[in-house]
Amino acid sequence: MPRSSRSGRIPPLNAANHARGPTTLWTRVLIRLPLISLLAVLWLSCFSGLSKYALLDLVDEGFYSSISRQMLETGDWITPRVGSEAFLGKPPLLYWAQAFFIRFLGPGVLAARLPSALAVAATSLILWFWMRRRGHALAGWLAAICFALCPLTIGLARVAMTDALLTLCLTVAIIGAIEGYDGKRAGYLLMALGAGLATLTKGPIGFLLPSTTFFLWLIWKRDLKELRKPIWLLAALLFAAIAVPWHLAAWRAQRDFFLVADMETRSEGITQTDLAARRVIVRGDCRAVASGSVASQRRLFLERVLLATPSSAANRTRLWE
């Protein structure tokens, strides 16, 4: 242990810290400035004025939010419904998230849009923390800021749709794939977690997009032997544990209608309201889907919903204002 040249005493262990001077409040603020600035940007882009405007039917905000509210009221967490009609065009993760906030915040615009805003904020923060952990703090901060300020990102954070939540889950899945390929085998479990949640958000694209991307990467690297790792079996089981139970329960509840609804959504690419209108006809008549204009199908759908639901149209509108 070195001794002082004059007094012969042993210097304190924190002598180097004293030499640099005491840590002030301003120093601590500077150290945390990247996080503070990112949180400020996220507040402005995702949360400020989030409930200022009413829900937009143009992007199906009211449609999704009504399903979430009805899930909470009926206690049926398996089959999404509009009125008395089942709607299986999208898996239920967004509906569950909205119903959670409706339960604690009450039925309103904030509760409907908060899952999307939180998903965008979480995606941005994950990008920054992940890149910082890998030793690229500046690049991670720039990536998070650019993502948060992207016009499309701001738009997705402020509408009650599935896209923001899907982006978060896919980001987690891709990060997991990168970590797993870099040698951290638990990263593949993270990939399975993200892919499973993405599948519960928007269907098959949730696992097709990350798995196809990773498979093409392995082909590019000529490293398909990576798929022989035992960890993939555990990852597959984790994915199945997340994604399969709801699909199985929905199929048991709706049987053939679940399969018909899913095939219509994947193959025809029609809008949610149009699909719901067609399903009203399919449920009433098990023959071929009725033909007709989109406008007429929407009118029929709205008429059936209003007749089947105890609350009036005025009450429905007031609920989400």
302 vs 144: which has the higher pLDDT:
144
Helix locations, the chain, DSSP H:
15-20, 25-31, 33-42, 61-74, 93-105, 109-133, 137-149, 151-157, 163-181, 186-202, 205-221, 231-254, 256-268, 272-284, 294-308, 313-319
User: Which of the four pLDDT bands, split at 50, 70 and 90, describes residue 32?
Assistant: confident
pLDDT of residue 91: 92
Prediction pTM value:
0.75
> Taking all residues of the chain, what is their mean pLDDT, rounded to a whole number?
79
Number of structural domains, the chain? 1
pLDDT (mean) for 39-43: 95
- Is 115 inside any structural domain? yes
CB 87 within 8 A of CB 200: no
- Is 172 inside any structural domain? yes
- Is 135 inside any structural domain? yes
Please give the C-alpha separations between residue 166 and each of 193, 197, 241, in angstroms, as whole numbers: 13, 8, 18
Handedness of CA 246, 251, 253, 257 (dihedral sign): positive
DSSP code at position 1 = -
What domain range includes position 117? 33-253
pLDDT of residue 135: 87
In this predicted structure, the answer to whether residue 288 has a pLDDT above a threshold of 50 is no
In this predicted structure, the answer to whether residue 21 has a pLDDT above a threshold of 90 is no
| 69, 72, 78, 82: CA torsion to nearest 10 | -30
- Is 229 inside any structural domain? yes
Query: Please, is 60 exposed, middle or buried when counting C-beta atoms within 10 Å of its C-beta (0-12, 13-18, 19+)?
Result: buried
User: Which of the four pLDDT bands, split at 50, 70 and 90, describes residue 96?
Assistant: very high
